Every structure is written in structure tokens, then in C-alpha cells.
Copies of this chain bind each other. A is one copy, B any other.
Amino acid sequence: MAKLLLEAIRREPAVRRPVWIMRQAGRYLPEYRELRRAHSFKALSGNAELAADVTLMPLKRFELDAAIVFADIMSPMPALGIEFDFDPGPVVANPIRDWDGVNRLRNPDPDAVAPEVMDALRITRAALPDNVALLGFCGAPWTLAAYLVEGRGVKDFPTLRAFAAERPELLDALLSRLSDLMGRYLIGQAQAGADAVQIFDSWAGLLSLNDWRTLIKPHLESLLETVGAAGIPRIVFLQNAPHLVDAYAKLPAEVIATDWRMDLAELQRRYPERAVQGNIDPAILLAGPKATTERVRQLLDSTDPNGHIVNLGHGILPSTPIASVEALIEAVHGES
């Protein structure tokens, strides 16, 4: 059976638009919260069987067109010898701020990059219906570097921004290591069963376009080219970075995914050859099923169905009512 998500990535006409939800296996699900009472996030994502169970959880409730492997953007970091924990976001034991920090990074054994994620993908793939796509993912080099340099998620990452200004050559070396590792990691995920991959650039918007172009773009581009050369369809998600959206739309990727701030219809008009993903404001779902249905219909009415993957513009919020998720999916199905 055809996978709607892959048809949309190729911008092929389809019976309806595919839909999945960022963080669809997450805290808004009572069964996930139940499981989390017994296991930490790290324990869940570190155990392939449990991670596969969690990956499949939302598929049991909702008719979604993709599963995304349950892992964290930090999951491949142990391959570089980086120690971290969650509180609740990633907290890095030894932030990298000098050459010693970069030189200390391990040369990863290609077979030992997050093996639990590869196993979770294989288990999920075997259990997944043929028409549901399986997504792998990773953090963009810059977004990973944000945690590695700052040490944890801090409003606007000032230490990272100062580091980028003061030590551009060091940042370059770090991004290069991360870009290489992410290339191998995504190819590994495809080999383990992922049909396509999403690169999360959650902190894309911290720098100006000029600085982004000089410092960050080459590493993101190189990662995308590596993955593209392996024939793997690429979704690039940029969050809170409207000033970079044109630059991202020109990157070598099949799909550009944006947060709720962007006008998706306008993006389709400007880049007709590009598939798009998004971009319902996840906060709308807090307002209940009626508001959700209305917003989804507005989105569907204003955008070209070809090459549009429906999603939220950011991860679903923990306090989201299940009824709103149902309304979202129904509205998408109702269009056909």
C-alpha cells in the first residue's frame, strides 16, 4: 500500500494529505504518562523494546500517517563520549567551550551510534502497517551545539552566541564533528527502516542571517547532501526563525517544516517545487476541538494540498486534550 507521507514528499497527487504530530508519542497521552511513572525518559528511550512500544502508542489511538522513532536529539551523543542527563531538557555534564573540549570528543564507532535507536526502528518497522511511514530524526548540528556549548537550554543561549562570536574556528570544528556524526546516524536509521528523516533545528533562529550563512549553513548543507546522496528523503524543521525561512527553503531538502508563525501558503507560492510541513499552532489545541477544527480547515483551505504534510508548528503540549487531536485528524481526513 502506498504511503501518503512519501507521496507528499514527492509532491505527487494523493487521495488526501498525510498527517502526523511532532511529539505524538508524548506526555499528552495518558498511557505514556502511565509508563513514565515507572521509567525515566532516559530509561524509556534507552530501551529499544520500550521505545518501540512508545513509538507505536499514538498509532493505536489515532489514524496517523507516520510514526517517528521515540528518541531524543541527544541519543547519539554518547558515541562522541558526551555525558548528559534530562532536567527536563538535556543537561550536559561538561559543556564544550575550548579546544580541549572538542579534541576530547571520541571518534565514533559507526556501529555503536545509538544502537538502541536502530533496534527500536527495526522493531517498530516490523509492527507498523505498510501504509504508515516510519520517520527517523536527528538534531541539526547547530541545535546540538547549542546544548553542548551552553550546557542546557537557557533563554536565547547567550553563552553560545558569545562563543560563536569569539571562537568561530572552534564552533566550526564542533559543527563539523556533529555534521559527520549526524550523517552516519541518519543513514543508519534509514538502513534500520526509516522511510525518511527529519532534522530538527529548534534553535536555528539565534543568529542573524549573515552569521548563520558564515558559521552554520555549510555544516547543515553538508549533512543534507550526505543524506540526500544516500537517497533518503529529508525534512528540515526550523523553529522560531522567520528571518531564515527563505535560506532554509533553498537548502537541499525535499520538505521544509516551519513553526506556526510562518504563512505556509505564502511559502508554497514562493517555493512551488518544495514540499512543506506544518503548521497548526499547538496552543490552538488547548482551546479545544472546535477551535482546532476551525484552524485546521483554514490551513487546508489556504494551502495547496500537493506536497503538504499536515502537522503542528511545534511539539504537542502536554496539557492537550485528546479530543483536540481527534478533531485535528478528522479535519484532515474530512477533506478527501
**CB proximity of A165 to chain B, nearest CB, Å:** 5
Shortest CB distance A170–B (Å):
12
Q: Annotate A141-183 by CB proximity to B: 1 below 8 A, 0 otherwise.
A: 0000000000000011011111101100000000000000000
**Partner-B contacts on A (CB < 8 A):** 155-156, 158-163, 165-166, 205-210, 240-243, 260-263, 281-288, 291, 295, 314, 317
In the complex, the answer to whether A295 meets B261 with C-beta atoms within 8 Å is no
What is the total number of copies of this protein in its complex?
Answer: 2
Q: How far apart sit A295 and B208, CA to CA, in the bound complex (Å)?
A: 13
The main secondary structure of chain A at its interface with chain B is helix
Q: Is the CB of B166 within 8 A of A208?
A: no
Q: Which residues of B contact A160 (CB under 8 A)?
A: 283
Q: A207 contacts which of B261, B295, B317 (Cβ < 8 Å)?
A: B261
Residue from B206, B208, B263 in contact with A262 in the complex, judged by beta carbons closer than 8 Å: B208
Query: Beyond the given A166-B288, A207-B261, could you list 9 further A-B residue pairs with CB under 8 A, ordered by the A residue number?
Result: A156-B314, A161-B284, A162-B283, A162-B286, A165-B284, A165-B295, A208-B281, A242-B243, A243-B261
Question: In the bound complex, what is the Cα–Cα distance between A88 and B14 (angstroms)?
Answer: 52
Complex: A206 Cα to B284 Cα, angstroms: 13
* CB-based nearest B residue for A294: B165
Q: Report chain B residues within 8 Å CB of A262.
A: 208, 243
Contacting residue for A281 out of B165, B205, B243, B281, CB 8 A = B165
Residues of B within 8 Å of A285, CB to CB, are 162
